[in-house]
Amino acid sequence: MIDDDPGQPHAPGPGSAATPSASPEPIDHLLTRESGLKRQLNRRQLTMIAMGGAIGTGLFLGSGLAISLAGPGVILSYILGVAVCLVMMSALTEMAVVHPTAGSFGVYAETYLSPWAGFVVRTTYCMAQVVAIGGEVTAAAIYTRFWFPNAPLWIWITLYSGALVVVNLTSVKNFGEFEYWFAMIKVAAIVFFIVLGVGYVFHGFGTPAPGLTRWTAEGGFLPHGFGGVLKAMLIVIFSFYGIEIIAVTAGEARDPRREVPRAMRSVVFRLSLFYILSIALVVAVAPWTRAGLSESPFVTVFRSVGVPYAAGLMNFVILTAALSSMNTNLYLTSRTLFSLSRSGLAPRSLGRLSRHGIPRRAILVSMVGLAAAAVLSLKYADSVYLWMFGISIFGGILVWILILATLIAFRARRRRAGLPPSPLQMPLYPWLAWAGIAALAAILADAFFIDLAIAWYAGVPWLVFVSVIYGLFLRKRGSAKGPDASATPAGG
């Protein structure tokens, strides 16, 4: 039997994803509402899932576009991008350790900002993830053509989609282990790349070592001025999309209040090191003028160094990156739909769980979105899918802005209620929170200067559309229902 008997709302047990704290929290009823998910993810899996969510084709392929916009100055773009990412993740972790729930930032926005904000955050994030899934599975099929050029794309799309859906339908522990090894391939590839790159730059491997001369050759370190650094920021931030998964997995972590902060510190350190070092080496080894979207800059570096089968090796890494991103995005979409259902803002059936604590119907609905996005990305890449991609770009940054806004409301409301502060707090609050909001707003405005104005042309109508849907049909539902908003499954 796929779904348990919904039964009546009840307090979650030890294996559930929400255990209300002893003090009266303003979000306790929402944590109870999202009970039933199993806490099976350990710190090792949390860390690698977050790493896998942030390291994807945005780094391996998208970094080429960023380099073409900023030249060697793209190093500064990634340093600034890491800083913005740290601010956002600091805010998210502060709330996640207090309220570990699968709805994560959507539930926080619903509670501390408004039910409208909670609905907008989750629906927009869900749309962004569906677009990402469709694009990633299509990309994975295209990458596979490197070895099987005559095979139709739909065969690989079907195989990859089916395999990852099966992984997500079994148990969250299987998902965590599968994603751990997928992410490990990407991390190992980056470590190998860094070791190889440092060796080549400073020792030359039998040829004169280039050193860091390419940083200032061909126009200098800032060939397009500091404006080029800023123009590359949207691409840089886009490459970090997915790191927020660590807050969503807090709802299924074994000990979120202890493991989430530890995993976050590990992820932040590794990502900062990997991204900045990798990009610095890319522009030190290969001329930045050769960068673009026609080839991964990592492939360019491998070829420059003389690594045999460089294209095939990197193609395999990028393939695993696409599958890993697809896997995590499918997880994120299903948990977002589950959270919307438990809020009374999506069909009730999407909030039901299997006896293993898996929202199977939400996963299957996400699969429908995956198929639709894949078809659109293949047949209508220059029209419909481009608009969906614009929503994804706009939506991702909008969600990050609302996360920071939620933290400000979170701090204020807890202070007024006399509740204890989070055990893990953002430093230099509120200055960093406001600076993060301003930076993200400026980065989104940057879309007009790099031929990505579609982010606004598609994103703003989408925001209006979901707001109208909420106002006309859902405003009186949702959190007003409290814990009775939807079915809470029996333990299992």
Which residue range forms the structural domain that includes residue 134? 36-470
Q: Residue 405 pLDDT more than 50? A: yes
* Average pLDDT, integer, range 144-164: 85
Residue 6, domain member (yes or no): no
Instruction: Tell me which of 320 and 251 has the higher pLDDT.
Output: 320
CATH code, domain with 149: 1.20.1740.10
- Is residue 431's pLDDT more than 90? yes
For 45-73, what is the mean pLDDT? 79
pLDDT, residue 424, reads 83
Give domain status of residue 31, yes or no: no
pLDDT in tens, 436-447: 999 999 999 988
Residue closest to 214 by CA, chosen among 166, 283, 266, 279:
283
- Note whether residue 11 is domain-resident: no
For residue 3, the model assigns a pLDDT of 42
Q: Tell me, yes or no, if the pTM score tops 0.95.
A: no
In a domain, 22, yes or no: no
Is the pLDDT reported for residue 485 higher than 70? no
Per residue in 209-233, pLDDT (tens digit) is 778 888 888 888 999 898 899 989 9
pLDDT of residue 483: 37
Quick check: is 413 in a domain? yes
Residue 12 placed within a domain: no
Over residues 409-426, the mean pLDDT reads 88
Q: Looking at this protein, which amino acid is placed at residue 22?
A: A
441 is a domain residue = yes
* Confidence band for 293, pLDDT divided at 50, 70 and 90: low
Phi-psi sector, 378: left (phi>0), alpha (psi -120 to 50), beta: alpha
Condensed to tens digits (0 to 9), the pLDDT of residues 238-263 reads: 888 877 877 777 777 777 777 777 77
pLDDT above 70 (res 9)? no
As for how many domains the chain has, the answer is 1
pLDDT at 173: 77
The confidence score (pLDDT) of residue 162 equals 86
Band (pLDDT 50/70/90 cuts) for residue 381 is low
Predicted confidence (pLDDT) per residue in 105-142, tens digit: 888 998 899 889 989 999 998 888 888 777 778 878 88
Q: Is residue 492 part of a domain?
A: no
More confident residue, 177 or 120: 120
Query: Could you tell me the two tokens for 433?
Result: 């929170």
Q: Pull the structure tokens for residue 290.
A: 């050769």
The pLDDT value given to residue 295: 62
